[in-house]
Structure 1
Amino acid sequence: MIKEQKATVIIEHLAYDPIEDKFDLDIFTSGQIKQDFTKAGNKLQRHIYNYAITDSTIERRFVQELDTANEVVVYAKLPRGFLIPTPVGDYNPDWAIAFKEGAIKHIYFIAETKGSMSSMELRKIEETKIECVRKFFDSINHRYAQEDVKYDVIDSFKKLMEVLQ
């Protein structure tokens, strides 16, 4: 119980400070050789690659909807090496999506796709990481993006569009 309260206090006072670290473009290609492309599905039009490796049927359906949406310019399944540090472990969001300017309020969107939106079904550690990542993107918006980068947990393209409107 003491450890739980300590973690709660840390997260309540969590702040992200900018550093000069950057990801090279090869973050999107460095792990490609090891991937099993039998799970890639159909050839895509708006993904940064011709194929996307998905982790679930929810993600496969999400890719199909992203790829046919007129509002989407380009999207990417974020690589496993793209990590956001949190006090309870590193976090890897699922998607980065760029929309046509003027079509959507938020131009950039970082999405985490989950099969269930119920907090009862998310593990406590996962909920905590999501809370920290929300603070991370809030700090990015505050310092650099003037609210252009949005992060949320969604379960479908329809939910994504609801969040963005």
Structure 2
Amino acid sequence: KPKEDFSKAVKANHHIYDYVFTDSKNERDFVRELDTSTSVVVYAKLPRGFFIPTPVGNYNPDWAIAFQEGKVKHVYFVAETKGSMSSMDLRKIEESKIECARKFFAKITSDQVKYDVVDGYGKLMELVA
């Protein structure tokens, strides 16, 4: 079993575990903002084993996030973090998987779970509001 690279670990308060292993600087920045947000109740970096089957291959979103809204926890968000929001920067196959995920969540949740691609916490909050 390979050892974890703890240089990619971030100490977390609102994550389901004490530390979050991130894949990029963008994800580390995202974790820091989730962790200091008063709106975030809990979040999880989704494991590689969590995937959505699509016609172009399995798709693994990055995050599941639960928000506090008023006194009720009811906004749930599945997010994919990308350093750039430009579709020109996303490979076509990845773009297809993301579009399939949008349709998947729209079909199965009736707006109870929101899904989108974000480049950071600010974009996430725009979509949740």
TM-score range, shorter chain: over 0.9
For each residue in 1:73-109, what CA deviation from the matched residue of structure 2 results, as whole angstroms up to 9, or x when unmatched? 0000000000100000000000000011337996100
The Cα of 1:44 is off from its aligned counterpart by: 1.2
Count of residues in correspondence between the two structures: 129
Structure having the larger proportion of residues in helix: 1
CA contact (8 A) 1:71 1:103 kept: no
> Secondary structure of 1:100's match?
strand
TM superposition outliers: structure 1 runs of 4+ over 4 Å: 103-106
1:62 aligns with 2:26: no
For residue 50 of structure 1, what is the amino acid of its counterpart?
Answer: D
Query: Which consecutive residues of structure 2, in runs of 5 or more, have no partner in the other structure?
Result: none
1:37 aligns with 2:1: no
CA RMSD of aligned residues (A): 2.0
Q: Who is 2:81 aligned against?
A: 113
Give 2:47's match in structure 1, choosing from 54, 71, 79: 79
With structure 1 as the length reference, what TM-score do the two structures score? 0.73
> Secondary structure of 1:52's match?
strand
CA contact (8 A) 1:114 1:153 kept: yes
1:140 aligns with 2:126: no
Larger Rg: 1
Aligned mates of 1:63, 1:103 — CA distance in 2: 23
Give 1:126's match in structure 2, choosing from 94, 99, 109: 94
Aligned mates of 1:135, 1:99 — CA distance in 2: 22
- Percent same amino acid among aligned pairs? 68
CA 1:82–1:96 in structure 2 vs 1: closer, same or farther (change >3 Å)? same
Give 2:113's match in structure 1, choosing from 132, 149, 152: 149
With structure 2 as the length reference, what TM-score do the two structures score? 0.92
